[in-house]
Structure 1
Amino acid sequence: ARVGLLDRLIQHARATAEFSVYYGRGRDGYDVRGRVAHESLFNAANGSYRGPNSQQGYSPFTTWTRGLAWAMLGFAEQLEFLDTVDDDSLTSHGGRAAVEQWMLDAACATSDYYMEIAASDGIPYWDSGAPNLEPVDSSAAAIGAQGLLRLARILEAAGRQPEADLYRQAGLRVVETLFEETGPYLSTDSKHQGLILHSVYHWPNRWDHVPEGATTPRGESSQWGDYHAREAALYVQRLACNGPYLAFFGGDRVQAAA
């Protein structure tokens, strides 16, 4: 049978929310609310769940923070997108209220975990459970900041102002840290080709640059980190000046739905 792209989107998001995001409900010994697995493995023959895995994180039972940030932003953006979808399109998935609830549960759980494990300036280490002196990952922060800010807007529209204020302030704190002109993350060297410093690519494989005399990578930018940093900056700028709302599918449609 032919499956539409919307159906496939919801199926994939549902599987991600169910198997890759943890909610502290006793699923296993590592079930900490908001933690995520980089990968979820399934039996290709019968589709049964096998367990968590990680390639770019420290282990299957710790949280690779860029993966965490992808989940934060992804669920928030899909919630925005659902505002443009008619109710009938969601009936086969349990209805709008059900779909929005599990997406919101995932967005809130992951955002809460991010705020718990990030440093006081809002920037997380590359993995929540890696030992010793480990690198921060500014790209995870750039992605996660926008997730926090978009979630705040969603909750504000739902009348949940105290929660909205919490996520908004957390998101703005990350943005402030990343773009502070005299801070450690914004590149002001005209000879450097990147925008945001101290992004991590694949630390388990040691594909990141470690300066001479150092033990952890630093000083590098990445295309995904710079992309999301620029997107976050534009997003905040539009909110500040009450400009057209920005979304991956066309902000004017969100504005009309809000």
Structure 2
Amino acid sequence: MTEKTQYLQEEAAQMLQNVTVKTAYMCERNKNGIPYTVKDDGFYNNLDYMDENPDLGINWWTNGFFGGILWQMYVKTRDQSYLEMARVQEKKLDQCLELFEGIHHDAGFMWLLTAVADYKLTGWKEARIRGLHAATILAGRYNVNGKYIRAWNGPGGRDYGSVIIDSLMNMSLLHWAYEETGDPRFRAIAVSHTDTIANYFVREDGSVKHIVKFNPETGEAEGSLGGQGYGHGSAWSRGQAWALYGFTNAYRHTKQDSYLELACKTADYFQRNLRTGDAAPIDFCQPAEEQYEDNSAACIAASGFLEIASLMDGEPARQQQYADTAWRLLRRVYEKRCCLDCGRDELVLQCAVSYREREDGPHTLIYADYFYLEALLKLRQQALQIW
């Protein structure tokens, strides 16, 4: 180990120590709820409730990330209380399986981070059944005409043709189900959907679209939408992060070289379009003078860059480049956008749900905190492999 590498490892260890101390307080305060975003008083809200809209409340797409934080903290500390708190989160999501109507393509985000994480660590049969139940529902959203998994549940069939870039991350639930059961339909659907994303979402320059609409009857692509980015044809940074991480996961599960090539292509776009000081804008196409950031994108991308680096042993220069980019992103968040006050819940600051909500929407998001913790644990070779 070189002197520089030793220094960086020591710095990463200190960052992780401070973040886990802060996270421990947040976990204890929120153990009876399902947090999503921090309110004005500095504490997370609670989505553990039933809503008239089946997509909201207990069914909200981010409701697995707190469970994921708890499992990562359990792996880091081996403190039994984190396992117990994580099991509470897992059981809360049983309501979603029972209600069924509110389950969407983000079943991966909800059950990979809870039930599947539990099963990987403990072998608990009940957790395995939950994970396979969720994977079966996700596979059931596959449209054979367009070879895609439908994103949402809009009324009257409005969203039957909607596909979004975030879905790449959720394919890991189907890959796990295939690896666990040997049932080839899970892998076939995951690969087919990933190929559709590759064919219709990735532009020549490596940027990605957020939403593509298909005709659900014919399977034909009808066009793309700007979604949560700056506008049509732009490059939403969190979508770019989902792409680089999602294609990396697809390669790790299938060893299909084209997926690693796409992971690198989308990662290269992300790193060469960062703003001064390694800031991740909400959208890489937003006006140059705008300083709006989305540090959830930075955290997701950092963890994805580390994952790509771990798979590129044959290209040491590129491997080091991706690892260095991850480190710069994580260090910047720590130094400029991280709250370590144990009396407040927020960790990663200046996040954005979308470009439209850049000023009025939530600025602290549970998935930013999750991916920041995951990435720091990866730096120290202590992360649970969830994806």
Q: TM-score range by the shorter chain?
A: 0.7 to 0.9
Question: Aligned residue for 2:260?
Answer: 104
**Is it true that 1:204 corresponds to 2:356 in the alignment?**
yes
**Is it true that 1:21 corresponds to 2:177 in the alignment?**
no
CA distance in 2, matches of 1:81, 1:122: 30
Which of 207, 211, 218 is the aligned partner of 1:39?
Answer: 211
Question: Aligned residue for 1:149?
Answer: 306
Q: How do residues 61-210 of structure 1 correspond to structure 2 at under 5 angstroms?
A: 61-82=233-254, 100-131=256-287, 132-156=289-313, 159-179=314-334, 183-205=335-357, 208-209=360-361
Question: Residue 178 and residue 153 in structure 1: after superposition, are their counterparts in 2 closer, same or farther (change >3 A)?
Answer: same
CA distance in 1, matches of 2:276, 2:318: 19
The residue type paired with residue 336 of structure 2 is P
CA distance in 1, matches of 2:355, 2:341: 25
Q: Is the 8 A contact 2:282 2:354 kept in 1?
A: no
Question: Aligned residue for 1:236?
Answer: 379
Q: Is the 8 A contact 1:153 1:164 kept in 2?
A: yes
CA distance in 1, matches of 2:346, 2:200: 35
CA distance in 1, matches of 2:260, 2:228: 26
Question: Aligned residue for 2:92?
Answer: none
Q: Is the 8 A contact 2:208 2:266 kept in 1?
A: yes
Report deviation, 1:102.
Answer: 1.8
Report deviation, 1:5.
Answer: 1.0
The secondary structure found in structure 2 opposite 1:129 is coil
The residue type paired with residue 301 of structure 2 is G
Report deviation, 1:113.
Answer: 0.3
Question: Aligned residue for 1:93?
Answer: none
CA distance in 1, matches of 2:222, 2:291: 29
Q: Is the 8 A contact 2:242 2:301 kept in 1?
A: yes
Question: Aligned residue for 1:222?
Answer: 365
Q: Is the 8 A contact 2:306 2:326 kept in 1?
A: yes
CA distance in 2, matches of 1:195, 1:205: 20
Query: Between Structure 1 and Structure 2, how many residues are aligned?
Result: 205
The secondary structure found in structure 1 opposite 2:213 is strand
Report deviation, 1:108.
Answer: 0.8
Report deviation, 1:120.
Answer: 4.0
CA distance in 1, matches of 2:368, 2:189: 27
Report deviation, 1:109.
Answer: 0.9
- TM-score of the pair, normalised by structure 2: 0.50
Question: Residue 77 and residue 246 in structure 1: after superposition, are their counterparts in 2 closer, same or farther (change >3 A)?
Answer: farther
Q: Is the 8 A contact 1:71 1:107 kept in 2?
A: yes
Report deviation, 1:121.
Answer: 3.3
Report deviation, 1:3.
Answer: 6.9
The residue type paired with residue 11 of structure 1 is S
Q: Once superposed, which parts of structure 1, at least 4 consecutive aligned residues long, lie more than 2 Å away?
A: 119-123, 188-192, 205-209
Alpha-carbon displacement from aligned partner over 1:129-166 (angstroms, at most 9, x marks no partner): 1235241110000000111111111112xx11111111
**Is it true that 1:6 corresponds to 2:160 in the alignment?**
no
Alpha-carbon displacement from aligned partner over 1:72-93 (angstroms, at most 9, x marks no partner): 111112222235xxxxxxxxxx
Looking at secondary structure, tell me which structure has more helix per residue. Answer: 2
**Is it true that 1:248 corresponds to 2:370 in the alignment?**
no
CA distance in 2, matches of 1:17, 1:208: 33
- TM-score of the pair, normalised by structure 1: 0.73
- Name stretches of at least 5 consecutive residues in structure 2 with no aligned partner: 1-143, 145-182
CA distance in 2, matches of 1:79, 1:120: 31
CA distance in 1, matches of 2:293, 2:332: 13
The residue type paired with residue 145 of structure 1 is A
